């Protein structure tokens, strides 16, 4: 589970009527390995991506009070930030695969164009020979038609 989802889950699991949290209280209860700035960054990223999930009220200069809204439970049931990140990763993988296919297609097109350029002089000679043969046969048929040898 994503750290953002853990924060939201901890907020809604609180049994009080209007649970309020500070950066320090979230760090102490969830992420003892993180510092307050990292917790602040996580809260700010939640607020940036989904502002409807949190109510952030100024309390002091260093730490505001943070409350979850009623939408958090439904958001977590739908997969939360973990699902959003997986969807972004899948989209990125699809784009990478598409780009790789385009690169391979470009390489094949380039190889075909190079082969055509190499074969062009030979094809040009054959077409000229064919044109001369065609003209010779035309002249022969015209000779036969006009001067019908008897």
pLDDT tens profile 66-115: 989 889 989 999 999 999 999 999 999 999 999 999 999 999 999 999 99
Per the model's pLDDT, the better-predicted residue between 122 and 95 turns out to be 95
Q: Does 53 have pLDDT greater than 80?
A: yes
**What share of the chain has pLDDT > 90, as a percent?**
51
Specify the CATH number of the domain 3-78: 1.10.10.10
The yes-or-no verdict on residue 123 having pLDDT over 70 is: yes
Distance CA 128, CA 86 (A): 62
Domain residue limits, the chain: 3-78, 81-150
Q: Which two tokens stand for residue 148?
A: 């019908």
**Who's near 5: CB < 8 A, 6+ residues apart?**
76, 80, 81, 82
């Amino acid at each position: 589970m994503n750290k953002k989802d853990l924060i939201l889950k901890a907020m809604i699991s609180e049994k009080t009527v209007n649970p309020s949290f500070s950066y320090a209280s979230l760090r102490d209860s969830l992420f003892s390995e993180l510092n307050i700035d990292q917790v602040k960054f996580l809260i700010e990223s939640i607020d940036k991506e989904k502002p409807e999930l949190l109510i952030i009220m100024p309390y002091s200069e260093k730490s505001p009070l943070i409350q979850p809204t009623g939408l958090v439970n439904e958001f977590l049931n739908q997969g939360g930030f973990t699902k959003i990140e997986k969807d972004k990763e899948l989209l990125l993988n699809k784009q990478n695969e598409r780009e790789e296919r385009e690169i391979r297609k470009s390489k094949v097109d380039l190889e075909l164009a190079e082969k055509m350029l190499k074969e062009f002089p030979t094809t040009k000679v054959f077409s000229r020979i064919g044109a001369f043969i065609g003209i010779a046969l035309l002249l022969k048929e015209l000779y036969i038609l006009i001067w019908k040898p008897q």
